[in-house]
Amino acid sequence: MAEQTFTLPDLGEGLTEATILEWRVGPGAGVARNQPLVEVETTKSAVEIPSPHAGVIAELHAEEGEVVRVGAALVTFDLEQDSGIVGTVPDEEERSERRVRLRPPAD
């Protein structure tokens, strides 16, 4: 197993920190990719952050009510394999051979 630490992402609009409102997972819990991990609150809104990996929660790095700066450790996962980052495209060899071809309409 490999450990992977996920940091608080940049939540946009110049925000530099967020307060942990509620953890949706705990140490030892198995999580799926994109499963809700934590709800945080910024000066602008409350946001639910999904898991970027599938694996087991090894450690939570902040308590509910704690203020966390962007880029600070949020959670560490135990991963069986590298599951990638949410929103990335798989390597070419992992992609399906099925392709869509676009053609202009016939007049």
Residue 97 lies in a domain: no
18 within domain boundaries: yes
For residue 57, what are the contacts with CB-CB under 8 A and spacing of at least 6?
A: 25, 26, 27, 28, 29, 30, 31, 75, 76, 77, 78
- Total count of domains within the chain: 1
| 14 — pLDDT class (breaks 50, 70, 90) | confident
Assess if residue 94 is contained within a domain.
no
Q: Is there a domain that residue 103 lies in?
A: no
**What is the reported pTM?**
0.70
Domain assignment present for residue 105? The answer is no
Q: Residue 74's domain is classified under what CATH number? A: 2.40.50.100
Per residue in 54-103, pLDDT (tens digit) is 999 999 999 999 999 999 999 999 987 654 555 555 555 554 555 555 66
In a domain, 102, yes or no: no
Domain-embedded: residue 19: yes
Range of the domain at 75: 2-83
Residue 99 domain-assigned (yes or no): no
